[in-house]
């Protein structure tokens, strides 16, 4: 596919994004940047969350890894559904009752300022690395198909993409993202449907034939019954629920959008709908992956050895025809911009509220605070640039596996902190708080490496997250004092 056709597709898509951003960002107030003035329709947020949660990671990596792991990723998604329901009916009522802008204010209220800043710090690290990995995966495809043929080096490509994202998020904040994410989710889902249809057209089979091709494919297995394996069903289910709980419920990036709903009931309806749709959508991505490998087999196509992340881009851009290539580019554009735009806003929110102590009640920021907010926003864009370039060190690793593994270490301390905030009346003081939260992932990594030798062949998988959180909670308990009681009805200090 010509790089100029790809450039035209991306330019058209971005022009549409700028138009939506300009319309939605008009008369945006301080609270509009941070919480969308709490007037966002729940169904719009639910639809937008689809694209934000899927991103380029799901779009490219999930279909590709079907060749190695089959449909076992579905075990994690089933666990995610349980996690989303826990968020809706356990976490959200607490966050709405306290009228939070940053959810790490809950840690500050319950455990103290040191816990709030430590939790916010781990969120900043977790989201920055996770979003960089997602964005790097998409930029790598654009680099090989668009920028490289035009003689543009990778670091310039990253600057261009991040600059485009800054163009429509710097002013409007979360109010703009709610609308742009919904727009991008629509294109992302449409690209999956059209890609499946294109494969059927190329193979001259209809919907029933496609279903038969999926069922007869050697990759069609999703239930792992070996208790020692990392992808054992029970482990994946429990880990999936925990991952959803921490990567969504304890993550400012997702909760900021849920806190933009008009009411708690709307936010709960949002998550209920989101849980069901995510199950269906991820099943569709896995089906697409099975069909891609079926197409490879039927057409006797051999791909270069390396990461499975190259399977979908290679077939879409070079084997399935021009229409499939255009569909793929539009879908990837939606995934690319969706994967990083919201993170810049939510990282900025957490930094401004948790560290710089910006006011959290509705009002208008001073000119100095607006300038500071913009500087923080641009600083995180620069850090995202550095992190993306760093992922060149992992060229052969499946991006989705890399993100999930990173999450077990970076989100574990957050899990431990929130468990203590919910179930104890402790206060945490002293420099031991960040030290424990940094040490727990190191201990967890060591146990993960040694688990087959210590536990008779049992290999820890994503449940490292739970172990990490447990170690964090136990360690932090050593620094707890009971200096202040927390009112059980209001959650406020007495």
Greatest C-alpha distance within the chain = 72
Average pLDDT over residues 160-176: 70
408 vs 493, more confident: 408
- What's residue 493's pLDDT? 38
Q: Identify which of 34, 350, 16, 348 has the alpha carbon closest to the alpha carbon of residue 178.
A: 34
With respect to residue 366, please indicate whether it lies within any of the assigned structural domains.
Answer: yes
- What's residue 468's pLDDT? 93
- In this predicted structure, which of 17-31, 202-216, 446-460 has the lowest mean pLDDT? 17-31
With respect to residue 468, please indicate whether it lies within any of the assigned structural domains.
Answer: no
- What's residue 175's pLDDT? 63
Q: Identify which of 466, 48, 453 has the alpha carbon closest to the alpha carbon of residue 253.
A: 48
The residue count for the chain: 494
Average pLDDT over residues 438-457: 87
Three-state DSSP class for residue 486: strand
Out of 56-60, 184-188, 299-303, 471-475, the most confident range is: 471-475
Question: For 407-447, what is each residue's pLDDT tens digit?
Answer: 889 889 999 999 999 988 888 887 889 999 999 999 999 98
- What's residue 308's pLDDT? 77
CB atoms within 10 A of CB 68: 11
| Total domains in the fold of the chain | 1
With respect to residue 73, please indicate whether it lies within any of the assigned structural domains.
Answer: yes
* 24, pLDDT greater than 70: no
Placement of tokens 């006011």 in the chain: 359
Placement of tokens 């998988």 in the chain: 461
- What's residue 239's pLDDT? 82
With respect to residue 461, please indicate whether it lies within any of the assigned structural domains.
Answer: no
Structure tokens at 312: 């979908």
The CA distance from 400 to 135, in Å, is: 12
**Residues contacting 158, CB < 8 A, separation 6+:** 139, 385, 388, 389
- What's residue 57's pLDDT? 67
- What's residue 487's pLDDT? 41
Band the pLDDT of 402: cuts 50, 70, 90.
confident
The CA distance from 279 to 265, in Å, is: 22
| Cβ–Cβ under 8 Å, residues 247 and 476 | no
Band the pLDDT of 171: cuts 50, 70, 90.
low
Alpha helices in 143-206 (DSSP H): 154-169, 174-203
With respect to residue 436, please indicate whether it lies within any of the assigned structural domains.
Answer: no
Question: For 81-115, what is each residue's pLDDT tens digit?
Answer: 999 999 999 999 988 888 887 899 899 988 998 99
Q: Identify which of 103, 125, 128 has the alpha carbon closest to the alpha carbon of residue 116.
A: 103
Q: Kind and range of the H or E element at 412?
A: helix 412-423
The CA distance from 485 to 494, in Å, is: 6
With respect to residue 103, please indicate whether it lies within any of the assigned structural domains.
Answer: yes
- What's residue 489's pLDDT? 39
- In this predicted structure, which of 121-125, 363-367, 388-392, 414-418 has the lowest mean pLDDT? 363-367
| Cβ–Cβ under 8 Å, residues 491 and 98 | yes
Question: For 342-360, what is each residue's pLDDT tens digit?
Answer: 778 778 878 888 888 887 5
Query: For 151, left (φ over 0), alpha (ψ -120 to 50), or beta?
Result: left
| Cβ–Cβ under 8 Å, residues 206 and 374 | no
| Cβ–Cβ under 8 Å, residues 451 and 458 | yes
- What's residue 490's pLDDT? 38
Band the pLDDT of 170: cuts 50, 70, 90.
low
* 274, pLDDT greater than 90: no
Cα–Cα distances (Å) from 396 to 61, 243, 309, 344, 471, in that order, read 12, 24, 9, 27, 31
Domain membership of residue 378 as a residue range: 3-413
Average pLDDT over residues 381-403: 76
Q: What share of the chain is helix, strand, coil (3-state, %, to 5)?
A: 75, 0, 20
**Residues contacting 61, CB < 8 A, separation 6+:** 137, 308, 309, 398, 399, 400, 401
Cβ burial of 350 (10 Å; 0-12, 13-18, 19+) is buried
* 300, pLDDT greater than 70: yes
With respect to residue 441, please indicate whether it lies within any of the assigned structural domains.
Answer: no
With respect to residue 183, please indicate whether it lies within any of the assigned structural domains.
Answer: yes
The CA distance from 256 to 254, in Å, is: 5
- In this predicted structure, which of 25-29, 51-55, 315-319, 406-410 has the lowest mean pLDDT? 25-29
**Residues contacting 30, CB < 8 A, separation 6+:** 362, 363, 364, 365
Instruction: Supply the CATH number for residue 205's domain.
Output: 1.20.1730.10
Structure tokens at 379: 């600083």
64 vs 231, more confident: 64
Percent of the chain with pLDDT over 90: 13
């Amino acid at each position: 596919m010509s790089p100029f056709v790809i450039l035209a597709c991306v330019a058209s898509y971005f022009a549409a994004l700028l138009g939506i951003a300009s319309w939605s960002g008009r008369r945006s107030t301080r609270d509009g940047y941070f919480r969308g003035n709490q007037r966002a329709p729940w169904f719009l947020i639910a639809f937008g969350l689809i694209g934000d949660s899927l991103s380029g990671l799901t779009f490219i990596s999930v279909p590709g890894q079907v060749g190695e792991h089959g449909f076992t990723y579905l075990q994690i998604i089933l666990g995610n559904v349980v996690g989303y329901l826990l968020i809706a009916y356990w976490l959200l009522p607490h966050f709405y009752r306290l009228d939070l802008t940053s959810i790490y204010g809950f840690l500050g209220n319950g455990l103290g300022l040191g816990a709030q800043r430590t939790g916010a710090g781990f969120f900043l690290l977790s989201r920055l690395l996770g979003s960089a990995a997602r964005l790097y995966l998409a930029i790598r495809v654009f680099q090989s198909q668009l920028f490289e043929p035009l003689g543009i080096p990778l670091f310039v490509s990253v600057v261009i993409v991040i600059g485009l994202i800054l163009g429509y998020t710097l002013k409007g904040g979360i109010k703009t993202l709610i609308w742009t994410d919904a727009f991008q989710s629509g294109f992302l889902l449409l690209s999956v449907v059209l890609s499946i249809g294109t494969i059927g057209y190329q193979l001259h089979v209809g919907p029933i034939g496609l279903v038969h091709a999926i069922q007869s494919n050697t990759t069609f297995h999703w239930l792992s019954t070996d208790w020692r394996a990392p992808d054992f069903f029970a482990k994946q289910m429990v880990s999936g629920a925990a991952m959803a709980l921490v990567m969504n419920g304890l993550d400012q990036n997702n909760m900021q959008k849920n806190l933009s709903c008009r009411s708690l009931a709307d936010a709960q309806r949002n998550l209920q709908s989101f849980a069901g749709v995510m199950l269906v959508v991820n099943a569709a991505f896995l089906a697409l992956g099975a069909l891609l490998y079926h197409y490879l087999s039927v057409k006797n196509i051999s791909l270069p050895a390396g990461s499975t992340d190259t399977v979908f881009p290679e077939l879409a851009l070079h084997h399935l025809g021009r229409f499939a290539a255009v569909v793929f580019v539009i879908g990837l554009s939606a995934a690319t911009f969706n994967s990083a735009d919201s993170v810049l806003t939510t990282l900025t929110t957490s930094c401004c509220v948790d560290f710089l102590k910006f006011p959290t009640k509705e009002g208008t920021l001073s000119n100095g605070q607006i300038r500071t907010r913009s500087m923080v926003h641009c600083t995180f864009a620069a850090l995202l640039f550095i992190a993306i370039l760093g992922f060149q060190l992992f060229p052969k690793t499946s991006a989705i596996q890399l993100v999930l593994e990173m999450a077990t270490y970076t989100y574990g301390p957050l899990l431990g902190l929130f468990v203590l905030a919910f179930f104890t009346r402790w206060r945490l003081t002293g420099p031991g708080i960040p030290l424990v939260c940094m040490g727990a992932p190191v201990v967890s990594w060591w146990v993960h490496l040694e688990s087959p030798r210590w536990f008779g062949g049992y290999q820890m998988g994503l449940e490292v997250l739970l172990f990490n959180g447990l170690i964090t909670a136990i360690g932090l308990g050593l620094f707890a004092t009971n200096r202040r009681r927390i009112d059980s009805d209001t959650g406020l200090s007495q």
